[in-house]
Structure formats: structure tokens, C-alpha cells
């Protein structure tokens, strides 16, 4: 039992760095190396190499004897001669060159022309330009002053409708001429006075109604008064004309 405890204590001490057992380093034993992998089919698969698989197809003729030197970059390529810059750009649109240092401008050129007088004469003799007006001149239209065609069509339609209505009235209300009387002015005035008195009486009753129409009877009474007032007003409007005709039955 004592031997087992000592063995456990020794193992626990080895786990710690500060241990007496760590003073003497242990001998390092290298692990055994695994054998190198060897293919079972050596030389069976041929190595396939494509030309220019990484850098692309060469565009120039490569010769180790003639390497690229200074100023030799303008060599024609195998595919396109202008790919390396052999074609020159169009210099027709280029600006004029800068004057050289030894070039001198022409001096002493004096013009005898009076530009102020010349400009004044040109402006006086010039023909003034007519302003271009974008406004539409309706006076010069082809149909100016004429009745539009659609108005004539509308007038014809209205006239035809009037004729049709008159024909219907004649057919439905054919009254002989002898059975029609004309109200005299006195009779018409008496009827107007009576209608106005009736309107005042009905209106007086209408004004006495309450504002709240909480019952059906009040609503019915209000509607009756309004219908009577409207009928009396229509009769007054008819009798207000100068001539009132009465058909005798």
C-alpha cells in the first residue's frame, strides 16, 4: 500500500515543472520514420506538357542570340504588326508647334483700316433681320370668321327635336280655337293676390315648426308645407305672364 502511494506521488511530481525529478533531463528518443511512398506504377503515366500553357502563345520570334536591346522594342510581331505600336497616330489634328527660341515674329505690321468707322458703316447698311415670332396668328387661319361645322350640326339637331316635340304636342293636345279663353288683367290680378295670400298663410305655419324633427308626424307636416309652397310659387310664376290662356272643357 505504501509503495503504491509513493508511485502516485512520483507521477504527480513529474507533472509539475518545479520537481526534483526534472533536474536530470530525459533522453530524447526520436520517433520512427514512416517509409517513403512509392508508386506501384512507376513511369506508367506520361508527363503531358502543353506549349505556352502558362505565359501564352509568343508573339515575337525568340532567338537567344538576338536579345532585346535598347531601342529595339518596335519589332513586328508574328500575328499583327501594329500590336507593338508600329502604326503612328494621326497628327492632322495636332496643334501647331511652339515657336523656337531663335524664331522672331514679324514686326512693324500696321493696318490703315479704321475699324470703328468700318463697323458703323456695316451696321448702317445692313438689312435688319425680321424677328421670328412663334405666336400663332389666328387671323390667318382658313376657317377664321366662319361658323364651325359642329355648331351647324348641333343647331340642326336642336331644330329637329323642337319640331318633333311640337308635333307630339299637337297630336296629344288638339284643342279647337273657340274653346280657348284669355284671362283679363283684373282676373289675373285677383288670382295673384289670392295665391300670394295663400303663400303667406302657409309660410306662416311653416315658420312655426320646431327645428327638431324627432317624430314622423313633424317630418310629414314639414314635407306637406314645402310641397304647398312650391306649388303656389309655380302658379304665381305662370300667372305672372302677360297672357294666360284657359282651355274650356
pLDDT at 26 over 50: yes
Per-residue pLDDT, 43: 67
Q: pLDDT tens digit string along 132-169? A: 877 778 888 888 888 888 898 999 999 988 988 888 88
Pull the grid cell for residue 26: 530525459
Per-residue pLDDT, 99: 87
Q: How confident is the model at residue 83 (pLDDT cuts 50, 70, 90)?
A: very low
Per-residue pLDDT, 188: 84
Per-residue pLDDT, 81: 47
* Percentage of residues in the chain having pLDDT higher than 70: 74
Burial 84-116, CB ≥16 within 10 A → b, else e: eeeeeeeeeeeeeeeeeeeeeeeeeeeeeeeee
Pull the grid cell for residue 76: 513586328
Q: pLDDT tens digit string along 131-140? A: 887 777 888 8
Q: pLDDT tens digit string along 172-224? A: 665 555 567 777 888 888 888 999 999 999 999 888 888 887 888 888 888 99
CB 205 within 8 A of CB 242: no
Q: What is the mean pLDDT of the chain?
A: 78
Tell me how far apart the alpha carbons of residues 225 and 228 are, in angstroms, rounded to a whole number: 5
Per-residue pLDDT, 93: 76
Amino acid at each position: 500500500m505504501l509503495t503504491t502511494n509513493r508511485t502516485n506521488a512520483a507521477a504527480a511530481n513529474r507533472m509539475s515543472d518545479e520537481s526534483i525529478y526534472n533536474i536530470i533531463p530525459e533522453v530524447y528518443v526520436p520517433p520512427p520514420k514512416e517509409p517513403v511512398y512509392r508508386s506501384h506504377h512507376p513511369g506508367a503515366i506520361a508527363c503531358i506538357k502543353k506549349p505556352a500553357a502558362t505565359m501564352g502563345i509568343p508573339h515575337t520570334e525568340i532567338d537567344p542570340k538576338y536579345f532585346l536591346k535598347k531601342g529595339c522594342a518596335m519589332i513586328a510581331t508574328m500575328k499583327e504588326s501594329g500590336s507593338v505600336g508600329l502604326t503612328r497616330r494621326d497628327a492632322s489634328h495636332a496643334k501647331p508647334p511652339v515657336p523656337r527660341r531663335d524664331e522672331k515674329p514679324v514686326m512693324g505690321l500696321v493696318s490703315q483700316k479704321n475699324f470703328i468707322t468700318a463697323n458703323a458703316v456695316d451696321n448702317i447698311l445692313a438689312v435688319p433681320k425680321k424677328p421670328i415670332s412663334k405666336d400663332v396668328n389666328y387671323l390667318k387661319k382658313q376657317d377664321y370668321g366662319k361658323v364651325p361645322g359642329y355648331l351647324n350640326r348641333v343647331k340642326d339637331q336642336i331644330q329637329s327635336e323642337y319640331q318633333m316635340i311640337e308635333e307630339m304636342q299637337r297630336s296629344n293636345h288638339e284643342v279647337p280655337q273657340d274653346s280657348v279663353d284669355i284671362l283679363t288683367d283684373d282676373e289675373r290680378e285677383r288670382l295673384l293676390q289670392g295665391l300670394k295670400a295663400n303663400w303667406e298663410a302657409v309660410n306662416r305655419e311653416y315658420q312655426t315648426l320646431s327645428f327638431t324633427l324627432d317624430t314622423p308626424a313633424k317630418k310629414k307636416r314639414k314635407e306637406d308645407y314645402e310641397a304647398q309652397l312650391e306649388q303656389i310659387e309655380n302658379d304665381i310664376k305662370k300667372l305672372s305672364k302677360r297672357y294666360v290662356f284657359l282651355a274650356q272643357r
